[in-house]
Amino acid sequence: MVHRVEAVIPRPMRREEEPAVRALYAQGHPFWPPRSDCWYVAYPTLVVEQDGAIVGFTSFSLGTITGLCMLHGQDLVVDLSVRGAGFGTILHRARLEIGRDAGATMFSGFTQGDNASMQRIFLAAGHHACQTVRRYYPDGGDAVLYLGPVRD
């Protein structure tokens, strides 16, 4: 049963939850190699739950480029069984809030060229498609780079 996602609060992933996050990553990217052992420790990772099970996660990084603090979205994956319920939007908003609180003013993130759901999330947050990078992903797929302000 899908619960009201407005009540869902993303939280940091606990170390023992890494296998569940890895399984979601594999579900979202079945033809890509798994992340390295240190990925989810090196990059902040937030998760959302439904009925005690992790149904989505996002990872991100913060960095400074020529004096500009940037938030870069890494992964954002939602379980197939609950896609379209709003978990992706909640996760993206949570990482934007963390970035804003850390001083980031700009967001950057890639998504697959055919990922209309993620593109809608980016556009709703005020991010704009800036460039297509051919054969960016491990499976040879193209990526679209989105940039925009970090805001609510």
Give the pair of three-digit tokens for residue 83.
């896609």
Look at the chain and report how many structural domains it folds into.
1
Q: Residue 1 has what pLDDT?
A: 47
pTM for the model stands at 0.91
At 116, which CATH number? 3.40.630.30
* Residue 108 lies in domain: 5-149
Residues 6+ apart with CB under 8 A from 29: 77, 139
What residue has token string 């992933």? 13
Banded model confidence at residue 117, pLDDT cuts 50, 70, 90: very high
Residues 129-141 have pLDDT tens digits of 999 999 998 889 9
pLDDT digits (tens, 9 = 90+) for 30-42: 888 888 878 887 8
Residue 78 · residue 55 · CB < 8 Å: yes
